[in-house]
């Protein structure tokens, strides 16, 4: 079956530091890949997505590239702010099957940015 | 612009009690689903629906029932609450089949404690 593995947290960074959160996946088909962000006490919000190999998703200074050869979708940001403190989830869905709406999530990575 | 609305936001139940978590979306999305979020485990799919009158089980369906009588509403019923059901519950909806956007939109969550 499909699965997502992401690095454990918490990740603690100083403001303006570089952030990388690793995400790898296992899928039988051709999944779409997503990064969601969860701020304290809130639901999940879509941060970015990529639907095919070599696509780069980007939003709010975050980027992730769909790497089929390494089955990875690592999240990066060049200069984090305190407001980026949140839990980040990597997720996939497989639009090539009848399960296109079913998402597989990673365990989540908490990011703490200090001033 | 309500999106996905969940009620209640917080709930405390005694073991053996039943309750219904409400979920409504106003985006005319076909696909709706319920997830539970537990520390270190990401989000796990409980039940999902691909349209009115159609529901199916996800990864962790035991102890929960769902129904989908309208496109808008997708309530989750706990039949006899157990402490193992203490969790944060999220309802999500998705637009449609590819090539439409398939990302999920999440509600704010319901924090349930069973004592």
pLDDT tens column, A82-96 = 999 999 999 998 876
Calculate mean pLDDT across residues B24-42: 91
Give the pairing of strands A23-26 and A32-38.
unpaired
Using the predicted structure, report yes or no on whether residue A65 has a pLDDT greater than 90.
yes
- A108, B42: Cβ pair inside 8 Å? yes
Q: Which residues from A are below 8 Å from B98, CB to CB?
A: 95-96, 100
Each residue of B38-68: pLDDT tens digit? 988 889 999 999 889 999 999 999 999 999 9
Cβ-based burial of A4 (10 A; exposed 0-12, middle 13-18, buried ≥19): buried
| Residue B64 near residue B57, CB atoms below 8 Å | no
Q: Which two tokens stand for residue A112?
A: 């703490």
In whole angstroms, what is the distance from residue A60 CA to residue A64 CA? 12
Calculate mean pLDDT across residues A90-109: 83
In whole angstroms, what is the distance from residue B56 CA to residue B60 CA? 11
- Report residue A41's pLDDT band, with 50, 70 and 90 as the boundaries: confident
- B108, A43: Cβ pair inside 8 Å? yes
In whole angstroms, what is the distance from residue B66 CA to residue B81 CA? 15
Tell me the CA end-to-end span of chain A in Å, nearest whole number.
Answer: 41
Q: Does B104 touch chain A (CB under 8 A)?
A: yes
């Amino acid at each position: 079956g499909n699965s997502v593995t992401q690095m454990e947290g918490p990740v603690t960074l100083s403001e303006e530091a570089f952030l990388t959160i690793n995400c790898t996946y296992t899928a039988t088909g051709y999944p779409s890949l997503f990064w969601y962000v969860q701020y304290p006490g809130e639901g999940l919000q879509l941060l970015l997505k990529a639907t095919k190999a070599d696509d780069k998703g980007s939003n709010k200074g975050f980027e992730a590239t769909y790497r089929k050869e390494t089955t990875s979708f690592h999240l990066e940001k060049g200069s984090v702010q305190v407001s980026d403190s949140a839990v980040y989830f990597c997720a996939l869905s497989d639009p090539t099957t009848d399960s296109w709406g079913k998402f597989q999530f990673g365990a989540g990575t908490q990011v703490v940015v200090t001033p | 612009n309500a999106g996905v609305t969940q009620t209640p936001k917080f709930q405390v139940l005694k073991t053996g009690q039943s309750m219904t978590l409400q979920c409504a979306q106003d985006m005319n999305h076909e696909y709706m689903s319920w997830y539970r979020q537990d520390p270190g485990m990401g989000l796990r799919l409980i039940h999902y629906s691909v349209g009115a009158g159609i529901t199916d089980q996800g990864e962790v369906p035991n102890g929960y029932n769902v129904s989908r009588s309208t496109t808008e509403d997708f309530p989750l019923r706990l039949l006899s609450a157990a402490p193992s059901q203490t969790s944060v519950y999220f309802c999500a909806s998705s637009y449609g089949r590819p090539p439409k956007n398939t990302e999920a939109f999440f509600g704010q969550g319901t924090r349930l404690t069973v004592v």
